[in-house]
Structures are given as C-alpha cells and as structure tokens.
Amino acid sequence: MKQTKFGVLLVNLGTPEAPTPKAVKKYLAEFLGDIRVVDTNRLLWWPILYGVILPLRSPRVSKLYQSVWMEEGSPLMVFSRRQQKALAARLPDTPVELAMSYGSPSVKSGIDSLMAQGVTKMVVLPLYPQYSCSTSAAVFDAVARAFKGRRDMPSLNFIRDYAEHPAYISALKASVLRSFEKHGEPDRLVLSFHGIPKRFVAEGDDYEQRCRDTAQALSEALQLPTGKVMLTFQSRFGREPWLTPYTDKTLEGLPAQGVKSVQIICPGFSADCLETLEEINAENREIFLHAGGEKFEYIECLNDQSEHIDLLQQLVTQHF
C-alpha cells in the first residue's frame, strides 16, 4: 500500500522582486495580464496595458514600493516567508512551500518541489480569507496549469476561503483588542477590504457577501455597539463602478460627522503589503487627518502573529 505523505502549498498574490520601475513593470504586466483580474477583451486591453498603463504606472508604483520596502525585501514576501517557516515548524513532518500567483516563487515551482518530496496528498491554501474570482480562483487556475503537463498527480484539497473560521475571527479580535488597549477605543473601527468591480458580484462572485460575513462575525466577537464598526472597500482600479463604500471617501467624510478618531484594519489581507502600508497607513491617514480627523491608528495585518499561525495550522490539518 502506498504511504500517504501530506504537503502544503501556501499561495499569496505576488510582488515585484525589487522596488524599481523595471521590476514593477514586469510584475504588473503579469498581474494585470491575467484575465481573472482584468477581463477586458484582449485586443482592446493589450494596447492599453502595454502602451499606456505600464509605462505610466510602473515608475510611480516603484516609488510607492520604495517607501515601504524592508531590509529583507518586499513586505508581502517577508511576511509570507515568515508564515511559511512558522507553519513548517508546527508541522515538522510535512513539507510547506510558498508560491505566488504572479512573480516568483511560482505556483508551478512550489508544486514541483512538493512532488519531488514525495507528496501524495496536497493541501492548497490561498491566503485570501474571502473568496474572489480574481484571487482564489486565479490560484486554482495556476494549480491546474501546473499539473497540465505532469504524468503524476496527488490528491488535492483546495481551501476556497475561511471568512468565518473561528480561529480567523479569534485572531482578528485579539489583534483589534491589542490595539484598543494600546491606543484606547476609537470613535469608529473601520474594516477595509480590497475592492472588486461590482460587475463581478452581479456575475456570481460572492466576495462582497464573504466580506460582510467576516465583518459581522468580528463585530459580534468584539461586542461593539451597532454603528461603531464600518465596512469599506479600497484599491479601486479603472473607471467602472467598484464595491462601495470606498475607504478613502469614507475617511474623508467622517470628521464632518463628528468622528475624530479611527482605527483601521484590513482583514482581507493576510500579510502587510503596499495596499496596507502605503495606501492605508500613509495615503488614507493623510486623507482623514487633512479632513479634520485627530487620531488615526492602523492595525497591522495578522502576518506571522501566533494566532494567525494557529489558524493556518488548523486550516491545513483539517484537510489532511
């Protein structure tokens, strides 16, 4: 009888290899070239992407990356590696590989490494708490492509999402309460999730509902008064309508409503990255304070906090 050997593939979005225009351009070309992310007709999209967006956007985005780059590298990669190592330490007999949907290490390289180690049952965990066709489904596509040319294939368990998992909500609650203890309780706790086009939801993506499921579960766990917790969406791109309310517009309007202190957390991001460290903690901080807000605190992502590694361990072992 063939002996079962488990393996784990953690997958996050990806990041440029360096905070330079060249590296950012390469990364954005792969990311924005995925039809899961931008589904515009390719004949229309390629000229716009390569002729306008990449030349204009890459230099600007590279400067933003420079503002958050860590000594060890890109924040998303640094924290994802820490998560991988911490989970591997909890599962000494189970290989744990890290992959990125875009850039390196690729999903294919992660799968090849696990297969080379004799894995017969693989758990694929996209590090997106709330499912979306633009994130989790893109990982599924990459996994399918990686196995397309192989003769051998393990049993696969693909974790769709974990928006309401008790250990996830518990980890978020602990993180929020630590911030409250350190900075005091704010007028509003803002939960900022990455946005997607409204059209995706109309076409069947349940991402918006999964974000609301997380927000409701966290609000109940914190036992905060109705209205004290707000759900918003950030990082919109392009001209079509995205999920609302928008994080930046919400923060801009709160001081006029008498809201002078906010704390903001990004529950949809498993690791701090450009969208949290620069867009939220820098750009949106300035928006709120410039509009008359007095106190803005950013609550870091779960990153490699012990409660987060507890969650990851529970998620994968439940699928062994």
Same-domain check for residues 313 and 280: no
Number of domains in the chain: 2
pLDDT of 1 reads: 66
Q: Is residue 1 part of a domain?
A: no
Whole-number average pLDDT of the chain: 97
The pTM of the whole model exceeds 0.85: yes
Place of tokens 């969650």: 311
Task: State mean pLDDT over 243-250.
Answer: 98
Q: Is the peptide bond before 105 cis (omega within 30 degrees of 0)?
A: yes
Q: Is residue 29 part of a domain?
A: yes
Q: Is residue 106 part of a domain?
A: yes
For residue 316, pLDDT beyond 70: yes
Rounded-to-integer distance, Cα 133 and Cα 125, Å: 15
Same-domain check for residues 102 and 49: yes
Same-domain check for residues 233 and 311: no
Same-domain check for residues 184 and 271: yes
Q: For residue 154, give its domain range.
A: 6-162+307-317
- In Å, how far are 26, 104, 117, 240, 309 from 99, measured between CA atoms? 17, 7, 16, 31, 17
Same-domain check for residues 131 and 171: no
Q: Is residue 311 part of a domain?
A: yes
Same-domain check for residues 111 and 215: no
Alpha-carbon Rg for the chain, nearest whole angstrom, is: 20
pLDDT of 238 reads: 87
Name the strand (E) or helix (H) holding 191: strand 188-194
Of the chain, the percentage scoring pLDDT greater than 90 comes to: 97
Same-domain check for residues 55 and 139: yes
Q: Is residue 263 part of a domain?
A: yes
Place of tokens 């409660």: 307
Contact 139, 107 (CB under 8 A): yes
Indicate which CATH number applies to the domain containing 266: 3.40.50.1400
Same-domain check for residues 11 and 157: yes
The model's pLDDT over 259-271, given as tens digits with 9 standing for 90+, comes to 999 999 999 999 9
Which stretches within 69-160 are classed as H helix? 75-90, 107-116, 136-148
Same-domain check for residues 176 and 278: yes
Q: Is residue 179 part of a domain?
A: yes
The model's pLDDT over 165-186, given as tens digits with 9 standing for 90+, comes to 999 999 999 999 999 999 999 9
Identify the three-state secondary structure at position 89.
Answer: helix
Same-domain check for residues 134 and 255: no
Same-domain check for residues 218 and 261: yes
The model's pLDDT over 269-302, given as tens digits with 9 standing for 90+, comes to 999 999 999 999 999 999 999 999 999 999 999 9
